[in-house]
A = this chain, B = another copy of it.
Amino acid sequence: MELLKKMCEIHAPAGEELAMKEFLLNYINDNQSNWKVQPILHHGHGFQDNLILVFGKPRTAIFAHLDSIGFTVKYNNEIVKIGGPVTTKGIVLVGTDSIGKIEGKIVKKDSKMYIDFEREIDRGTSLTFKVNFRDTDNFVQSCYMDNRLGAWNCLEVAKTLENGIIVFSSWEEHGGGTVGYLGKFIQEKYGVMQALISDITWVTDGVQHGKGCAISLRDSGLPRKSYVNRIVEIAKQNNIPFQLEVEDAGGSDGNGLQKSDYPWDWCFVGAPEDNVHSPDEKVHKADIKSMVALYSELMKEL
């Protein structure tokens, strides 16, 4: 879990994904010689801070978002949300501005939120949760499992991937807006129209720790039933533990693909976590194992 820990520690809230992209480029550069297939990389001009890896003759694309939730500093150290973070009083935030490093607790006054810090912070400075990474026998726990774990899953799958695309996207937590053009590029250049969303979901009454990766039949978005059924069938035939999720809230890059001007079949497949969007996101290791195994099979059989 050392790699995952490093990824959780990178400051990359929505709008500032560059550091995550550079980390991945370095990692890929250092490790791809050990991968079964070396991918073609697409990034740079026209891709903003996103990154696409193409392996062999792809039929399916995995989408994993690089950005995290966080906060933006407004006036007089007031803070506003990036995405939907938990905002409990006392949570420790960190960041950097033109003067130097920042660390302070969330405080609330008159229905506004502030960071408690000794000087005025530059306007527009982004803050993220202070990382406390906990690795135990059965669980990993930290802020930003969502979605550094989804990105980490892609790097695991990449080791043996022969045919497929991996997309690292931006802004998923705050307004989206990249999977539309990334999907356009993929459909136009590679003719791929099948997507898997590598992201982290919620522990609920129906989806519990340790019972396997969740295959989401729907959330606020409603994927095409016939596509989702194929995914469930592959999971069953390979005896990979999984759980079926049905929600009517929450969303993912799947919604962004669906609303784009390109025909996408998509399905959210990801481990569930407790303490969603807090500094204490907690995932069971059996579910992580199931997630990697399921993606590896899906990329072969879809």
Which A residues have a C-beta under 8 Å from some C-beta of B? 14-16, 18, 46-49, 72-76, 80-82, 123-124, 126, 171, 174-178, 180-181, 183-184, 193, 204-206, 217-218, 220-226, 228, 244-248, 255, 258-263, 265
Distance A263 CA – B46 CA, assembled complex (angstroms): 6
List chain B residues, Cβ under 8 A from A221. 175
- Once the chains bind, are B259 and A178 in contact (CB under 8 Å)? no
Distance A232 CA – B76 CA, assembled complex (angstroms): 19
Q: Which residue of B lies closest to A258 (CB)?
A: B177
Distance A244 CA – B73 CA, assembled complex (angstroms): 11
List chain B residues, Cβ under 8 A from A206. 74-75, 123
In the assembled complex, the CB of A69 is this many whole angstroms from the nearest CB of chain B, namely: 11
Distance A223 CA – B175 CA, assembled complex (angstroms): 10
- Once the chains bind, are B263 and A260 in contact (CB under 8 Å)? no
List chain B residues, Cβ under 8 A from A262. 180-181, 184, 261
Q: Which residue of B lies closest to A259 (CB)?
A: B177
List chain B residues, Cβ under 8 A from A176. 258-259
20 more CB-based (< 8 A) A-B contacts, given A16-B225, A75-B204, A260-B261: A16-B224, A16-B226, A47-B263, A48-B224, A49-B224, A72-B218, A74-B247, A74-B248, A82-B222, A123-B244, A124-B217, A124-B244, A126-B225, A175-B221, A177-B258, A177-B260, A178-B263, A181-B261, A184-B261, A261-B261
- Once the chains bind, are B14 and A222 in contact (CB under 8 Å)? yes
Q: Which residue of B lies closest to A73 (CB)?
A: B246
- Once the chains bind, are B228 and A124 in contact (CB under 8 Å)? yes
Distance A206 CA – B78 CA, assembled complex (angstroms): 11
A-B contact pairs, 17 of them (CB 8 A): A15-B223, A16-B224, A16-B225, A46-B263, A72-B246, A72-B248, A73-B246, A74-B246, A75-B205, A81-B248, A124-B217, A124-B225, A171-B258, A180-B259, A181-B260, A181-B262, A184-B261
List chain B residues, Cβ under 8 A from A244. 123-124
List chain B residues, Cβ under 8 A from A178. 263
Distance A249 CA – B76 CA, assembled complex (angstroms): 18
